[in-house]
Structure 1
Amino acid sequence: MHLSQLLLLASEFSEGFFTNYRQSWRWVMSTDPDKMFPKRKYQYAHNTLVKKSLIKTNDNLFKLTQKGQDEIYKLFPLLKWRKKSWDNVWRVVMYDFPETHKRQRNLLRRFLKKIGFAQWQLSVWISPHPAIPLLNKLLTKNNLHQFCSIHESKRVIGVSDKKFAQETWSLTKINQQYQQILDNFNPDKKHEYFEMLLKDPLLPKELLPLDYLWEKLMKKITSTPNNINACPPVVESFT
């Protein structure tokens, strides 16, 4: 991951996880096991982001500007909805691709996963996130509308929304993995833990178990002394 992307992530998580500018700075520097990011590189990347109006320093903290938020949400779109309340709408995508369009089908599947959809049935994906505008951009850009249909629904028939989310996204299994990490926390594996957290579906709190441990584990990762590695995953661009 580029240093500039790490800085944007530090800015995204500065409120609620990092307590001050120095802590978020140390977190970024600690992501480099091979010392590829010397201080001058960090300063250059930081100054570049400031000049591009992507971040600013305020009250001793990294702060994302609106432009910076737009940039980080292109890389991690689910972060955009991390703190949002659910609007009680399910988004359903159905598709039917001929075998000659396997590449386009795989492109769509990867993008659906990236923006928080889960496979509900064969060729049917579902999400509580308001991701249809992002999806439409991809469909238009790649001329895929002819293979897809998009629907919205207030209810999933036959089961409560919370139970449906728990089963469809395997939330119990995910939460058990988080608990195992907390019980056996190894600072040297902080980069692996962070990578796992960024793969979380980040569902609205209304759909999560009451004891869901994402926030607790993120706080553990960001509060652990920063003489360790915490390298987030490489980000693939789809749009």
Structure 2
Amino acid sequence: MKPQSLLFTIYGEYVRHHGGEIWVGSLTRLMGEFGMSEQAVRVAISRIVSQGWLKARKIGNRSYYSMTPRGKKRLDEAGARIYKQTSAEWNGKWCIATYNIPEKKRAIRDQLRKELSWMGFGMLANSTWISPHDLAERVKEIAESYNISDHVEIFTSEYMGIGTDKQLVEKCWNLDEINDAYRKFIRQYQPQYEKLREQIIRNQEISDSKCFVEKTELVHEYRKFLFIDPSLPDELLPDFWVGREADQLFRDYYSLLDPGAVRFFLSVFETAPNKK
């Protein structure tokens, strides 16, 4: 795991549920469980601060870090998708985002594409992206944040083409590739889950630190699906969708690891003394 990515996982999974701010020494200790040095942790923090995701607060000779409003929004969005509940019936509407951004703003255009992809949009054609979810307001927020509102258009529409909605999905997302990624996840974590469940049945002692490491790695790995799986409604998924099995495995394994992982985190966690 890369230090910057691990930091996001720790903030999203633990820190944001316990006041949102943490002493850098606690972060160093927590990330040390994954073999990361203090120097590597501090470099990663510095980079995330410079990117606008994290902010620092100094009290005496101690530094405390919390997510910026932008960072909190990203963590909330990620959490909602990772721990998604059963989706409601799809209304048949597509959210369509198009843009015409000048070449002189190419860097911003590239960043917009990354944002759209992360939200679950699929590219239908150059500069035209679609999603079965109502993400119009979120796209507006992103366009405003990059000062490109004049170059972005958003529509909501039904597909009236020659094919079907499922065929439209096939043009925008490689579902076979996503299914294969879920199979790989299951092959990797099913044996670990079965082993842990057996240990619990036999009342074997499992250290809290081990639970913390395994749960964090589990979430970290599962979080990668945010970048490739658009969370399509059931109506648009293929008949055989491995994502359902992978999601159940994630939830079952997570529930076994969570109590010990949280206990370990709290044993290391320190926030500012005047933080309410």
Identify whether the pair has TM-score above 0.5, normalized to the shorter chain: yes
1:151 partnered with 2:152:
no
Gaps (5+ residues) in structure 2?
A: 1-6, 18-29, 38-71, 193-213, 262-276
Structure number with larger C-alpha Rg: 2
Q: Secondary structure at the match of 1:94?
A: strand
Letter in 2 for 1:194: Y
1:190 to 1:117, Cα distance in 2 relative to 1, 3 A = same
Q: Secondary structure at the match of 2:14?
A: helix
Match among 229, 234, 239 for residue 210 of structure 1: 239
Letter in 2 for 1:133: E
Q: Give 2:223's aligned residue.
A: 195
State whether residues 93 and 151 of structure 1, in contact with CA within 8 Å, keep that contact through their aligned partners in structure 2.
Answer: yes
State whether residues 99 and 127 of structure 2, in contact with CA within 8 Å, keep that contact through their aligned partners in structure 1.
Answer: yes
Q: How far apart in 1 are the matches of 2:79 and 2:218? A: 19
State whether residues 122 and 131 of structure 2, in contact with CA within 8 Å, keep that contact through their aligned partners in structure 1.
Answer: yes
Match among 76, 79, 99 for residue 73 of structure 1: 76
Letter in 2 for 1:210: D
Match among 158, 161, 164 for residue 168 of structure 2: 164
Larger helix proportion of the pair: 2
Q: Give 1:83's aligned residue.
A: 86
Gaps (5+ residues) in structure 1?
A: 11-28, 37-68, 230-239
Letter in 1 for 2:240: D
1:31 to 1:177, Cα distance in 2 relative to 1, 3 A = farther
Letter in 2 for 1:73: D
Q: Give 1:134's aligned residue.
A: 138
Letter in 1 for 2:91: D
Q: How does 1:102-113 map to 2 (within 5 A)?
A: 102-113=106-117
Q: Give 1:219's aligned residue.
A: 248
1:48-80 superposed Cα distances (whole Å, 9 cap, x missing partner) = xxxxxxxxxxxxxxxxxxxxx977434456459
State whether residues 97 and 147 of structure 1, in contact with CA within 8 Å, keep that contact through their aligned partners in structure 2.
Answer: yes
State whether residues 96 and 128 of structure 2, in contact with CA within 8 Å, keep that contact through their aligned partners in structure 1.
Answer: yes
Q: Secondary structure at the match of 2:169?
A: helix
Q: Give 1:5's aligned residue.
A: 12
**Cα drift, residue 124 of structure 1:** 0.9
1:4 to 1:81, Cα distance in 2 relative to 1, 3 A = closer
Q: Provide the TM-score with structure 2 as the length reference.
A: 0.53
**Cα drift, residue 31 of structure 1:** 11
State whether residues 94 and 158 of structure 2, in contact with CA within 8 Å, keep that contact through their aligned partners in structure 1.
Answer: yes
1:81 to 1:132, Cα distance in 2 relative to 1, 3 A = farther
Q: Provide the TM-score with structure 1 as the length reference.
A: 0.60
Give every structure 1 segment of 4 or more consecutive aligned residues whose post-TM-superposition deviation is greater than 6 Å: none
**Cα drift, residue 169 of structure 1:** 1.2
1:181 to 1:144, Cα distance in 2 relative to 1, 3 A = same
State whether residues 93 and 149 of structure 1, in contact with CA within 8 Å, keep that contact through their aligned partners in structure 2.
Answer: yes
Query: Cα RMSD over matched residues?
Result: 3.7
Using the aligned pairs only, state the percent identity. Answer: 20
Q: Give 2:181's aligned residue.
A: 177
Letter in 2 for 1:7: Y
1:86-140 superposed Cα distances (whole Å, 9 cap, x missing partner) = 2211111111111101122122111111211111111111111110011111212
**Cα drift, residue 6 of structure 1:** 1.0
